[in-house]
Amino acid sequence: MEEKLSSIAKTLKPSPIQQLSFLAERCNAVNLAEGFPDFPAPPLIKAAAVSAITSDFNQYRHVQGICDLLVDKMKQMHGLDVDPLTDIAICCGQTEAFAATMFAIINPGDEVILFDPSFETYATCISMAGGVPVYVALDPPYWTLDKVKLLDAFTAKTKALVLNSPHNPTGKVFNMGELEIIAECCRTKDCIAITDEVYEHIIYDNEPHISLASLPGMQNRTVITSSLSKTYSVTGWRVGWAIGPSCIASAIRNIHTKVTDSAPAPFQEAALTALRSPPEYYRSLRMEYESKRDFVFKLLCRMGFQVEFKPLGSFFIFATIPETCKLTDVEFVEQLIKEAGVVAVPGCGFFHTKHDYDNRYIRFAFCKDDATLTSAALKMRQLVDASGRLRFL
């Protein structure tokens, strides 16, 4: 029967991360792997969802009010003028918004530039749409963008570039200089930019979140994708959006309608409450995550991890395995599960090109309750011997 599978389906294999998840479950490990919160979502937003269900918002639905609120948000955050009737598609999370964008713009053989390391789902969506991912390596330890490498990646087939900032897995926030380089390349090479801004409100050290779309000449060639998932701790609600030039937004809406029809109606209703959250909500979200980041950062440094780059955004720390440790990232995580009862993600799944460092990173997610982080810290400290070195070096 396997021969009946499509060629793209045959390329999709369970990742080593999934196997580690099974091991972690068997060992009842504290989970610092999964990129979603283990603490409750804000009560007001949950109440809005419950009320939407009891008020019978339970059928296919497009909630235009979300678009109106996104228009205000784009104006306030980025100074962008967006038409709520033509420029927005509400989708099932950023994931569907991104996939639908690929189906909206990619023809077979079109190339799409991605930065390496990157979030895993982009490449699959690009391939499913018939496109070809082309990688530009960011340079460790600060994951710096090299303009020459970026320019080299463009060919006559380049259709689009994907920018995820704040960045999963590194926590990098692309600075204005880097955004200007990317914008210049997009303009001169007539390239569409797709931004993934799901961590737009999870950003530290007073770093601003700048959307690539706000740079000169970029709004008319950028599709912004984002969602409720991370900002409001509701990754299971599946409400996201794409905001872009009207013809692309319209194509995305058509694709979305054919594939899923609508995002979940009660959660779209609750999105109205979420998107009206006061500035204080976003301020305390940042502060809480910043203190979690500092806690895990200190823990990892004390354990001998090399964490040259302290994340400026998102809720991940991408730490280098201590130099003296000869284990690969996958072996290291196996040991972490077995010996400490803590699970994290081996970095290899985020690298798509060969580097001598691509099995040296571990991603720790700190979007967890303080009790979870404290319990992980207690367990991980047991791995350190009296001289302060990791026991399984």
Q: Which residues bind ligand PLP (CB under 6 A)?
A: 35, 93-95, 119, 164, 168, 196, 198, 227, 229, 235, 240
Q: Which residues contact 40 (CB under 8 A, 6 or more apart)?
A: 46, 233
Q: Is the dihedral of CA 234, 237, 238, 244 positive or negative?
A: negative
**H or E segment at 90?**
strand 88-91
Query: 93-105 and 121-128 helices cross at what angle (nearest 10)?
Result: 40
CB of 67 to ligand PLP, least distance (A): 17
DSSP assignment of 289-339, as one string?
HHHHHHHHHHHHHHTT-B--S--SBSSEEEEEPPTT----HHHHHHHIIII
Rg for the chain, CA atoms, rounded: 21
Q: Is the dihedral of CA 366, 372, 373, 377 positive or negative?
A: negative
Phi and psi, residue 173, nearest 5°: -115, 120
**Residue 209 contacts residue 203 (beta carbons within 8 Å):** yes
User: How many distinct helices (H) and strands (E) make up the chain?
Assistant: 13, 12
**Residue 340 contacts residue 382 (beta carbons within 8 Å):** yes
**Residue 316 contacts residue 364 (beta carbons within 8 Å):** yes
Comparison of 95 and 211: residue with beta carbon closer to ligand PLP: 95
Comparison of 66 and 377: residue with beta carbon closer to ligand PLP: 66
CB of 62 to ligand PLP, least distance (A): 18
Comparison of 304 and 346: residue with beta carbon closer to ligand PLP: 346
As beta bridge partners, residue 194 has: 162, 223
Comparison of 111 and 196: residue with beta carbon closer to ligand PLP: 196
CB of 125 to ligand PLP, least distance (A): 11
Task: Retrieve residue 251's tokens.
Answer: 């194509």
CB of 236 to ligand PLP, least distance (A): 8
Look at residue 374 and give its three-state secondary structure: helix
CB of 143 to ligand PLP, least distance (A): 14
**Residue ranges of the alpha helices (H) in 174-227?**
176-188
Comparison of 141 and 236: residue with beta carbon closer to ligand PLP: 236
Q: Which residues contact 31 (CB under 8 A, 6 or more apart)?
A: 24, 38, 343, 368, 372
CB of 170 to ligand PLP, least distance (A): 11
Comparison of 119 and 154: residue with beta carbon closer to ligand PLP: 119
CB of 225 to ligand PLP, least distance (A): 8
Comparison of 45 and 383: residue with beta carbon closer to ligand PLP: 45
Comparison of 229 and 268: residue with beta carbon closer to ligand PLP: 229
CB of 132 to ligand PLP, least distance (A): 21
CB of 166 to ligand PLP, least distance (A): 8
Return d(Cα 95, Cα 92) in angstroms, integer.
Answer: 7
Comparison of 158 and 164: residue with beta carbon closer to ligand PLP: 164
CB of 168 to ligand PLP, least distance (A): 4
**Residue 346 contacts residue 332 (beta carbons within 8 Å):** yes
What is the Cβ-side half-sphere exposure of residue 116, based on CA atoms within 13 angstroms?
Answer: 20
Comparison of 78 and 172: residue with beta carbon closer to ligand PLP: 172
CB of 95 to ligand PLP, least distance (A): 3
Residue nearest to ligand PLP (CB): 93
379 exposed, middle or buried (CB, 10 Å; 0-12, 13-18, 19+)?
Answer: middle
What is the Cβ-side half-sphere exposure of residue 280, based on CA atoms within 13 angstroms?
Answer: 2
Comparison of 161 and 325: residue with beta carbon closer to ligand PLP: 161
